Amino acid sequence: MNSFGRLFRVSIFGESHGEAVGIIIDGCPAGLPLHSNDFSDDLSRRKAGNKGTTPRKEDDKPEIISGLFDGHTTGAPLIILFRNSNVHSADYDAIKNTPRPGHADFVLHQKFGGYNDYRGGGHSSGRLTVALTAAGVVAKKLLPFATIQATLIEAGGDKDIDRAIANAIIKQDSIGGIVQCVVSGFPTGIGSPFFDSVESYIAHLIFAIPAIKGIAFGSGFASASMTGSEHNDAILNETGKTKTNHAGGINGGITNGNDLTFKVAVKPTSSTPKQQHTWNRTTNSIEAFQAKGRHDLCIALRVPVVVEAVTAIALTDLLLVSQRIDLIKPQ
């Protein structure tokens, strides 16, 4: 299924080489001022065109075809559409029979009995993160009291990102990276123990982003080597502010008023320029494989804004489920 959320619910649709991709947002409160310009900054952060990103450039112009009237949300479902224009489907003919290594081509064929739209990954394409990004813009506008900031802090194992990209270009091999996200100003008491923990919610949506292979909150995997007396964050006063923040702002699945912090591992783009091998469905033999199509050398460059988007979506839904509409009610 392709939707998530209880009261702020997103439903994603579309294919990389189909007519359009987009998203429905159901449950956006009425009265939020919204204009297509609001999307520009985040959409351009996600856009291709820099070194290390794909040469496929889409207009990424959001069409809001329902749920907006006189410049404000109406309370009815918002649907935001992005037309696909810059489509080179012929590049993908080969993958009908030669599933690309690292990609979902093989499993999609198995799962859907060969009926999936295989062009450019079809519905599974990273192209659909433009829709997540757009939904994130709306969610962020509902959380004016919070700042959500994601940054690429490492690429290809190197904290100097420019150098990492330069090396990848020289080596002509794709690389991954690590994205850090910090949320400040979010209220205390949101989330629940067990299935609605803030970690569960955020992780669920983070792993909805293609190419993510890990997430860790606060001190994360390093906490496994710490002692309790080191790791515990001492509460300093009645606001719940703590001396350290090893917990990443979450105790027992519930926000504690300190910064929410987590890191995300992005694997290297599967479509590397390097020659590889794969199995051919027609000949049932292994053969050399060279990625066609237009691809990112370091998809991690474009991930931070998507991480912010899904974080904002998760937090907005949790806030509404926690009945804190008073915080987000448009004035």
Q: Which of residues 299-328 bind its own copies (CB under 8 A)?
A: 300, 320-323, 325-326
The single residue among 37, 170, 237, 282 that binds its own copies, judged by CB under 8 A, is: 237
Residue 20 CB, shortest distance to its own copies, in Å, is 5
Closest alpha carbon to 100 in 279, 239, 244, 285: 279
Nearer to its own copies, 48 or 164 (CB): 164
State the pairing for strand pair 177-184/260-266. Answer: antiparallel
Q: Where is 205: in which H helix or E strand? A: helix 198-206
Q: How far apart are CA 108 and CA 101, in angstroms?
A: 13
The single residue among 97, 151, 180, 223 that binds its own copies, judged by CB under 8 A, is: 223
| 292 near its own copies, rule: CB under 8 A | no
Which residues, other chains included, contact 171 with Cβ-Cβ below 8 Å and sequence gap of 6+?
A: none
Stretch that binds its own copies, among 37-45, 46-54, 113-121, 140-148 (CB under 8 A): 113-121
Residues between 179 and 198 that touch its own copies (CB under 8 A): 188-190, 192-197
Residue 276 CB, shortest distance to its own copies, in Å, is 6
Nearer to its own copies, 41 or 330 (CB): 330
Nearer to its own copies, 43 or 268 (CB): 268
Residues between 20 and 39 that touch its own copies (CB under 8 A): 20-22, 24, 26-27, 30-31
Phi-psi label, residue 49: left if phi above 0, alpha if psi -120 to 50, beta otherwise: left
Stretch that binds its own copies, among 44-52, 53-61, 134-142, 254-262 (CB under 8 A): 254-262
| 90 near its own copies, rule: CB under 8 A | no
The single residue among 57, 88, 112, 159 that binds its own copies, judged by CB under 8 A, is: 112
| 170 near its own copies, rule: CB under 8 A | no
| 156 near its own copies, rule: CB under 8 A | yes
| 174 near its own copies, rule: CB under 8 A | yes
Handedness of CA 97, 99, 100, 104 (dihedral sign): positive
Residue 40 CB, shortest distance to its own copies, in Å, is 21
| 165 near its own copies, rule: CB under 8 A | no
Nearer to its own copies, 41 or 220 (CB): 220
Q: How far apart are CA 179 and CA 51, in angstroms?
A: 18
Q: How far apart are CA 143 and CA 29, in angstroms?
A: 12
Backbone dihedral angles phi then psi of residue 284, each to the nearest 5 degrees: 50, 40
Stretch that binds its own copies, among 36-44, 50-58, 135-143, 223-231 (CB under 8 A): 223-231
Stretch that binds its own copies, among 44-52, 134-142, 143-151, 262-270 (CB under 8 A): 262-270
Q: How far apart are CA 313 and CA 11, in angstroms?
A: 12
Q: How far apart are CA 212 and CA 266, in angstroms?
A: 5
Nearer to its own copies, 55 or 112 (CB): 112
CA dihedral 123, 79, 88, 304 (to 10 degrees): -70
CA dihedral 220, 222, 224, 227 (to 10 degrees): -120
Residues between 29 and 88 that touch its own copies (CB under 8 A): 30-31, 65-67, 69-70, 72-77, 79, 81
Closest alpha carbon to 305 in 162, 150, 194, 154: 150
Q: CA dist 313 to 114, 136, 179, 255, 266, Å?
A: 33, 6, 18, 16, 20
